[in-house]
């Protein structure tokens, strides 16, 4: 084989390899290996267990006791609880790493939503690939809010949450499910507004 033919064969071989490389997937060890896709866990929404209910009552009691001790207020399961929660947050009565109390405050926040829209929401257990959570769900749907962590996610990073804004934003997220006043009068709240 002369030198010219040898260079041509090498050049053709190089071009063929470059062409193959353009279309071959990266990070392939062999063609026989199969990629196994992880299956996402389907969403499951269930009734609260008696342990969940008991835990939530204990959490509400603990926040009420904290509020009585530190600011002289009680948890009443009405809009005044938003102000009580805000005073606890503003007074720095809850440590940044006190997730238990922060999440208990989220239960109180959820109960205000429930009191405002008792025919729309209900507490449920929401399970998905991430895990198990207590959620406030629109009845007979998979549309849920997660008030248990609405305050704690903000407080754990050192933020001072605006409790009323979080409450109002949660209502806006679920607006399409909420009862309406006649003649396009807006959302029909159960708790009186001042």
Strand locations in 62-120, DSSP E?
A: none
Top pLDDT among 180 and 184 is at 180
- The count of residues in the chain is 194
Q: Look at residue 25 and tell me whether its pLDDT is greater than 80.
A: no
Nearest partner of 179 among 126, 122, 121, 128, judged by Cα: 121
Place of tokens 């606890």: 88
Kindly state the percentage of the chain with pLDDT values over 70. Answer: 79
Cα 104 to Cα 152: distance, rounded to the nearest angstrom: 9
Q: What's the predicted TM-score (pTM) here? A: 0.78
- The string of pLDDT tens digits covering residues 37-80 is 334 568 999 999 999 999 999 999 999 999 999 999 999 999 99
Cα 176 to Cα 37: distance, rounded to the nearest angstrom: 35
Query: For the chain, which domains are there?
Result: 44-177 (1.20.120.1090)
């Amino acid at each position: 084989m002369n030198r010219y033919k040898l260079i041509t064969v090498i050049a053709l071989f190089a071009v063929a390899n470059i062409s193959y490389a353009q279309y071959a997937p990266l990070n392939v060890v062999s063609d026989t290996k199969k990629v196994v896709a992880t299956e996402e866990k389907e969403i499951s929404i269930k009734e609260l267990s008696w342990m969940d209910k008991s835990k939530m009552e204990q959490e509400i009691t603990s926040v009420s006791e904290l509020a009585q001790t530190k600011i002289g207020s009680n948890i009443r399961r009405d809009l005044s609880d938003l102000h009580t929660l805000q005073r606890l947050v503003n007074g720095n009565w809850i440590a940044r790493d006190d997730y238990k109390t922060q999440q208990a405050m989220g239960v109180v926040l959820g109960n205000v939503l429930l009191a405002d829209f008792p025919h729309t929401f209900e507490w449920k257990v929401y399970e998905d690939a991430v895990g198990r959570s207590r959620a406030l769900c629109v009845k007979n749907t998979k549309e849920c809010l997660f008030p248990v962590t609405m305050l704690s996610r903000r407080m754990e990073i050192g933020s001072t949450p605006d409790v009323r804004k979080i409450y109002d934003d949660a209502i806006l997220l679920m607006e399409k499910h909420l009862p309406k006043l006649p003649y396009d009068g807006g959302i029909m709240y159960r708790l009186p507004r001042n």
